[in-house]
Structure 1
């Protein structure tokens, strides 16, 4: 009788572990900024950005800057901070310039034709 209880308990634990890992794997881990820093980031160090909103599985609104060395830096939302707006404008201008094409030329930028970063 004791062996049956232990076996049932082990099977239940394995089943719960399998369900927990399967649900985490199917959803994928959400990479979120947990806090933001007001330290200014020089635009020349940044290659792209993403806007994080609290409604998309993250707890705080933030602007995620990705540096040329692939570091992720969390800044306040652009609507609350002028320097963040400035960096985003520079990135958008640089991206648009890379997408301009003349006759018989292909777009040069990676995100040409994409509205989101």
Structure 2
């Protein structure tokens, strides 16, 4: 008994999706493997931030500050430095969006 071609295509597509989901731990971004609370005061060096968490497929939670040179600075989630810089970035971005 031959499989209907449409049924065969659906089975093939489903199996490929399952294999891809199992093989890709993290499609969102590369993860910080360690964090360090480094003093940084100049928000002008930064362009954005990402809050890394296990739901993204990363092993540790972190605040990732991204510089204008695309360097990632990985801070602990409770870092006062990182939280202050996140707030400053949000304020700066809100001011920019009001101008446009």
Q: TM-score range by the shorter chain?
A: 0.5 to 0.7
Q: Distance in 1 between matches of 2:91 and 2:29?
A: 29
Shift of 1:29: 6.9
RMSD value over aligned CA atoms? 2.2
Q: Distance in 2 between matches of 1:30 and 1:48?
A: 14
How many pairs were matched up? Answer: 79
Q: 1:89 to 1:29 in 2, by over 3 A?
A: closer
- Runs (5+) with no aligned partner, structure 1: 1-18, 102-106, 108-117
Q: Secondary structure at the match of 2:55?
A: helix
Q: 1:29 to 1:54 in 2, by over 3 A?
A: closer
What pairs with 1:73-88 in structure 2 (closer than 5 Å)?
73-77=73-77, 80-88=78-86
Q: Secondary structure at the match of 2:69?
A: coil
Q: 1:93 to 1:32 in 2, by over 3 A?
A: same
TM-score (ref. length: structure 2): 0.67
TM-score (ref. length: structure 1): 0.58
Q: Secondary structure at the match of 1:100?
A: helix
Between 1 and 2, higher relative CO (CA 8 Å, sep ≥ 6) is seen in: 2
